[in-house]
Amino acid sequence: MNRTITVNGNIIDWHEGMTVTEMLAVMKYTFKLLVVHVDDKIIKKDDWPVTVIPEGAEVKVIHLMSGG
Domains of the chain (ranges plus CATH)?
Answer: 4-63 (3.10.20.30)
For the chain, the residue count is 68
Q: What is the pLDDT of residue 1?
A: 62
Q: What pTM, to 2 d.p., does this model score? A: 0.91
Query: 8-64, pLDDT tens digit by residue?
Result: 999 999 999 999 999 999 999 989 899 999 999 999 999 999 999 999 999 999 999
Amino acid letter, residue 48 = W
Tell me the pLDDT band of 68, cut-offs 50, 70 and 90: low
Q: Using CA atoms, how far apart are residues 9 and 66, in angstroms rounded to an integer? A: 24
| Number of helical H runs and strand E runs in the chain | 1, 5
